[in-house]
Amino acid sequence: MGLEKRKQISIRGIVGVENVAELKKGFNRHLHFTLVKDRNVATPRDYYFALAHTVRDHLVGRWIRTQQFYYEADPKRVYYLSLEFYMGRALQNTMINLGLQNASGVGYGGSGRDGRRSCFLDSMATLGLAAYGYGIRYEYGIFNQKIKDGWQVEEADDWLRYGNPWEKARPEFMLPVHFYGRVEEEDGKEPKWVDTQVVLAMPYDTPIPGYMNNTVNTMRLWSARAPNDFNLRDFNVGDYIQAVLDRNLAENISRVLYPNDNFFEGKELRLKQEYFVVAATLQDVIRRFKTSKRNCSGPLSFDSFPDKVAIQLNDTHPAMAIPELMRIFVDIEKLDWDTAWNITKQTFAYTNHTVLPEALERWPVELMEKLLPRHLQIIYRINQIHLDVTSLFPDDMDRICRMSLIEEEGGKRVNMAHLCIVGSHKVNGVAEIHSDIVKRDVFRDFNELEPEKFQNKTNGITPRRWLLLCNPGLADLIAEAIGEEYVKDLNQLQKLNDLVDYDAFIRDVAKVKQDNKLKFAQYLEKVYKVDINPASMFDVHVKRIHEYKRQLLNCLHVITMYNRIKRSPIKPFVPRTVIIGGKAAPGYHMAKMIIKLITSVADVVNNDPVIGRKLKVIYLENYRVSLAEKVIPATDLSEQISTAGTEASGTGNMKFMLNGALTIGTMDGANVEMAEEAGEENLFIFGMRVEDVAKMDKEGYDALQYYESLPELKQAINQIKSGYFSPKQPEMFSDIINMLFHHDRFKVFADYESYVKCQERVSALYKDQREWTRVVIKNIAASGKFSSDRTIKEYATEIWGVEPTDLKIPPPSEPREALEETARALRKN
């Protein structure tokens, strides 16, 4: 274990001797009583679990306290609904936020899952918001990626096999969710949803600690359970064994996360998942509202509901929350339609995450009618009123059709984005350029009808995970230079601009990067048996594999560099290690071919003696948060090269900037704002702007013309086409070639020349390490805007109607009266 005895002071927490002794005691107790092991038989995993339980013990008091505090102060609650939370590694994060980080060297690999969106939970807790994350407890998270013979192979991620020390099951709060059935409509009576099938939703709670503020919020994930009488009542009477076996059918709802990224696949099980989380969560929300201090004492009224509840829809995935809340208000709570609709609209806000048409959810009416018949009726009624209102404005039939919640052509479908816009009081995009496109193009008609509804909230990342946790060397260096306050106020990084000419600081920053690169090189060597040159530029392109993210453009640059070295082997060349990684959706053929092409190019490049140590290509297997934490601090060059107008924001770009990588990128997503913050001259910006892409769409994109006029592009394409990288199967990449020439929606060839020239500027600057590092410092200094604390503050004040607070909840060591006093102080605010 190596628990350090001496008192350590660092940005990552102050740990006294007493604290260390206490942690040690807890650790030994858990190893013995919880894991039932002694040191002779304990495995590394046992040690990890013992430490996790010990750290968890430090959370529990604060967790209970925080929830008591919310009950006493009764602030407005914020509910963040998402189908994609599944936690990253909690241990290190918890230790940092509790100030326990330096009590031990954490070397255990708790298996990592993709923890996208957990940045927001961290910031909400750090800002003291009474917030809850709600989602599904998938038994299998995003698949594990294996690369076999250069191809992606998927493996199930059985992350719960050894148990999860962070979650607490709450079977006492289990709730029913209904599916199927029919709507009974008798004259003069309200419609009734009857003959439904019931599935139970079991909550599992995970603590979300804020940074050094005694706040611990809750993430509640639902797991599907069959009721004990499942299949034993009606037709299956008598077949007890079969009925028990069939419980799997109901419990499949929370079995597995759909691994698509930016792609809508209209599967019934997915719609069940979406409604499952919504139905369980809204019952919880309403129970909490009804049992709040003031509603318990006075008569119940829902008029104050929007003052007490804000619900954020993360993408359209939880969109069924809108008709579900209407169903609860109208059918169960007996509110009249207009009252219910006004409360509903004031409660919801919707975040759009993509403008790619293939990603937009459009559920077949037929499927929805079968699975959720009452909700479909409600959606039709919402639509009827919406279209009546719409037609008061420019009476053009085309516009009314475009704005309908129900699409008619090619089979009736419910447009979930339209439902979200109509049912919310605010709609936001996730970067300035994306929000502009949302207003100008995708939802233009809606913006013309209600312009005050549309906003921007530029994404952010948590500096706790994406700097303190993953890059302690840089975090400590910054703390030495400007103090520790930047962790809660990332704009203070601007102070680093004063140090941009100090040789000692430049040297220290370069040293931290070099140490991180060495460490990552050693990791690759150990785990993948690859030898990389730590003196080379680490050129990193890691994100989901998708045509719009243009890994193919990077691949063409790699081939171009290869050909240049082969042509002039003795000409000086700035050595590079190109690292590409990411998962492809299992059903996305083109993305899987792109992986095979990259691994095939890597095979040729890495085994060519003429190339030597000048150029290496690594495919980083199974890219996930825990791997991102390793590779990002070791990166020199961050690749953010999507076709302008296609990447909504990106968050990878921000992580790299904060960790001292320079960006080569298009004017897309948050890259635009990164260039604005750091100065365009401090990023490597290339390629078409959104306007150029739009013009080309109008005038036509001719891939062949670029191929014919750019000899190096022609050579690279000819090599792929002729089997240079796949000699045993020369036709291997014909689908890619065919796409690039005839139906490339993302115009790879159009940006090739500009990209390659920009890469030459990158290499030129890299030769001057001092100047390179000065630009790195300017980038870090300009990255403060991209803290998710800033993002969440904007959501809080401009959408949710709540104020972040610096009030510190009294720790469990202080008496209950202190808590009540703080609660009074908050109520007064």
Give the residue, chosen from 317, 624, 774, 778, that forms a contact with ligand PLP under the rule CB under 6 A. 624
Closest to ligand PLP by CB, 210 or 650: 650
Question: For ligand PLP, which stretch binds (CB under 6 A), given 317-325, 487-495, 622-630, 698-706?
Answer: 622-630
**Residue 262 Cβ vs ligand PLP, minimum distance, rounded to whole Å:** 10
Question: Could you give the CA distance from residue 355 to residue 233 in angstroms, rounded to a whole number?
Answer: 47
464 belongs to the binding site for ligand PLP (CB under 6 A): no
Question: Could you give the CA distance from residue 491 to residue 455 in angstroms, rounded to a whole number?
Answer: 22
**Residue 155 Cβ vs ligand PLP, minimum distance, rounded to whole Å:** 17
- Options 62, 464, 488, 549, the catalytic residue: 549
**Residue 543 Cβ vs ligand PLP, minimum distance, rounded to whole Å:** 3
CB 578 within 8 A of CB 616: yes
> Catalytic residue at 270?
no
CB 720 within 8 A of CB 552: no
Question: For ligand PLP, which stretch binds (CB under 6 A), given 377-385, 403-411, 650-658, 784-792?
Answer: 650-658
Q: Greatest CA span in the chain, whole angstroms?
A: 89
Closest to ligand PLP by CB, 116 or 255: 116
Closest to ligand PLP by CB, 323 or 669: 669
Q: Which residue is nearest to ligand PLP (CB)?
A: 652
Lay out the site mask for ligand PLP across 539-568 (x = CB under 6 A, - = otherwise).
----xx------------------------
Closest to ligand PLP by CB, 344 or 653: 653
**Which of 391, 161, 142 lies closest to 258 in space, CA to CA?**
142
Closest to ligand PLP by CB, 561 or 632: 632
* Radius of gyration of the CA atoms of the chain, in A: 28
Question: Could you give the CA distance from residue 314 to residue 312 in angstroms, rounded to a whole number?
Answer: 6
Closest to ligand PLP by CB, 652 or 660: 652
Question: Could you give the CA distance from residue 366 to residue 364 in angstroms, rounded to a whole number?
Answer: 5
Question: For ligand PLP, which stretch binds (CB under 6 A), given 251-259, 500-508, 562-570, 624-632?
Answer: 624-632
**Which of 348, 422, 408 lies closest to 378 in space, CA to CA?**
422
**First and final C-alpha spacing in the chain:** 46
Question: For ligand PLP, which stretch binds (CB under 6 A), given 208-216, 235-243, 617-625, 740-748?
Answer: 617-625
Give the residue, chosen from 280, 628, 802, 823, that forms a contact with ligand PLP under the rule CB under 6 A. 628
Give the residue, chosen from 652, 660, 665, 810, that forms a contact with ligand PLP under the rule CB under 6 A. 652
CB neighbour class for 715 (10 Å; exposed up to 12, middle 13-18, buried from 19): middle
**Residue 339 Cβ vs ligand PLP, minimum distance, rounded to whole Å:** 41
Provide CB contacts within 8 A for 39, sequence distance 6+: 31
Lay out the site mask for ligand PLP across 108-147 (x = CB under 6 A, - = otherwise).
------x-x-------------------------------
> Catalytic residue at 543?
yes
Closest to ligand PLP by CB, 62 or 583: 583
- Options 76, 247, 345, 353, the catalytic residue: 353
CB neighbour class for 336 (10 Å; exposed up to 12, middle 13-18, buried from 19): exposed
Closest to ligand PLP by CB, 133 or 652: 652
Give the residue, chosen from 651, 671, 759, 773, that forms a contact with ligand PLP under the rule CB under 6 A. 651
> Catalytic residue at 65?
no
**Residue 45 Cβ vs ligand PLP, minimum distance, rounded to whole Å:** 23
Q: How crowded is residue 681: how many other Cβ atoms within 10 Å of its Cβ?
A: 10
- Options 117, 655, 774, 778, the catalytic residue: 655
Q: How crowded is residue 6: how many other Cβ atoms within 10 Å of its Cβ?
A: 7
The count of chain residues that interact with ligand PLP, using the rule CB under 6 A, is 12
> Catalytic residue at 544?
yes
231 belongs to the binding site for ligand PLP (CB under 6 A): no
**Residue 116 Cβ vs ligand PLP, minimum distance, rounded to whole Å:** 6
423 belongs to the binding site for ligand PLP (CB under 6 A): no
Lay out the site mask for ligand PLP across 662-691 (x = CB under 6 A, - = otherwise).
------------------------------
> Catalytic residue at 651?
yes
Question: Could you give the CA distance from residue 202 to residue 197 in angstroms, rounded to a whole number?
Answer: 16
- Options 126, 390, 599, 651, the catalytic residue: 651
- Options 544, 576, 616, 774, the catalytic residue: 544
Tokens standing for residue 797: 């004040």
Closest to ligand PLP by CB, 96 or 625: 625
**Residue 397 Cβ vs ligand PLP, minimum distance, rounded to whole Å:** 40
Residue type (1 letter), 496: L
Long-range Cβ contacts of 507-515 (<8 Å, 24+ apart): 508/477, 509/474, 509/477, 509/660, 509/773, 509/776, 509/777, 509/780, 510/769, 510/773, 512/471, 512/473, 512/474, 512/477, 512/660, 513/633, 513/634, 513/636, 513/660, 513/773, 513/776, 515/473
625 belongs to the binding site for ligand PLP (CB under 6 A): yes
CB neighbour class for 57 (10 Å; exposed up to 12, middle 13-18, buried from 19): middle
φ, ψ (nearest 5 deg) of residue 80: -105, 110
**Residue 428 Cβ vs ligand PLP, minimum distance, rounded to whole Å:** 17
- Options 457, 543, 550, 785, the catalytic residue: 543
- What is the CB-side half-sphere exposure of residue 825 using CA atoms within 13 A? 13
Where b means 16+ CB within 10 Å and e means fewer, 244-276 reads: eebbeebbbbbbbbbbbbbbbeeeeebbbbbbb
Angle at 694 between CA 692 and CA 695, to 5 degrees: 65
Question: Could you give the CA distance from residue 120 to residue 418 in angstroms, rounded to a whole number?
Answer: 25
Closest to ligand PLP by CB, 308 or 544: 544
Closest to ligand PLP by CB, 591 or 625: 625
Question: Could you give the CA distance from residue 577 to residue 537 in angstroms, rounded to a whole number?
Answer: 6
Question: For ligand PLP, which stretch binds (CB under 6 A), given 161-169, 233-241, 378-386, 623-631?
Answer: 623-631
Closest to ligand PLP by CB, 150 or 652: 652
CB 512 within 8 A of CB 799: no
Tokens standing for residue 288: 């909490």
CB 504 within 8 A of CB 543: no
**Residue 670 Cβ vs ligand PLP, minimum distance, rounded to whole Å:** 8
Question: For ligand PLP, which stretch binds (CB under 6 A), given 264-272, 299-307, 649-657, 689-697?
Answer: 649-657
CB 611 within 8 A of CB 572: no
DSSP string, 461-518: B-HIIIIIIT-HHHHHHHHHHH-SGGGT-GGGGGGGGGGTT-HHHHHHHHHHHHHHHH
Q: Which residue has the tokens 């680490």?
A: 538
Question: For ligand PLP, which stretch binds (CB under 6 A), given 220-228, 245-253, 593-601, 620-628?
Answer: 620-628
Lay out the site mask for ligand PLP across 424-463 (x = CB under 6 A, - = otherwise).
----------------------------------------
Closest to ligand PLP by CB, 604 or 627: 627
**Residue 581 Cβ vs ligand PLP, minimum distance, rounded to whole Å:** 9
187 sits in which H/E element: none
φ, ψ (nearest 5 deg) of residue 662: -95, 150
Give the residue, chosen from 181, 650, 687, 784, that forms a contact with ligand PLP under the rule CB under 6 A. 650
Residues that bind ligand PLP (CB under 6 A): 114, 116, 543-544, 623-625, 628, 650-652, 655
Active site residues: 353, 543-544, 549, 651, 655
